[in-house]
Amino acid sequence: MKNVILWGLVLLNVLLLTAFVGRISGSDAALAQNRRPADYLLIPANIAEDGSSAVVYMLDTDNNMLGGMVFDDSRKELLTMQPINIERIFSTGEGISTGAGGVPRGSGDSNVNTKPRGGRVGTGTGTGTGTHTNP
């Protein structure tokens, strides 16, 4: 009987030692934690000039999606806009000008007037001491 109790205590100590070593040598990562919720930016705007219709644009900054919602007061329902992937739109850069004479990026058109804005062309240092000519 003493032999069975002795071997039972030895087995219990081995089990406790294994649990202790596993506890101190394991990683501290929280494996049950889910991804955090996305950050949203809500932008209210008026659709009609008289301010009778309003929309709320929703920008999901984590997933780069833009959506919108408007409340139709006559039908008493909330209408939603299909979400748009803004990362795809910004990466293509369609229709965006650089601000230098209104020439779109990548147009390669050499016949476009690239005169600087401001109406005057001249040489100078920006201190007012240069010579200017009116076009």
- Per-residue pLDDT tens for 12-33? 999 999 999 888 887 666 666 6
Enter the tokens of residue 83: 């979400």
Q: Does the structure show a pLDDT above 80 at 44?
A: yes
Q: How confident is the model at residue 112 (pLDDT cuts 50, 70, 90)?
A: very low
Residue pLDDT, tens place only, 73-102:
788 888 999 999 988 888 876 666 665 555
Q: 119 near 132, Cβ under 8 Å?
A: no
Instruction: pLDDT band for 119, please (50, 70, 90 cuts).
Output: very low
Beta carbons of 60 and 38 less than 8 angstroms apart: yes
Tokens of 82: 């299909």
Task: 124-131: list long-range contacts, CB under 8 Å, 24+ apart.
Answer: none
Q: Where are the alpha helices (DSSP H) in 26-72?
A: none
What letter does residue 125 receive in the DSSP assignment?
Answer: -
Supply the mean pLDDT for the chain. Answer: 74
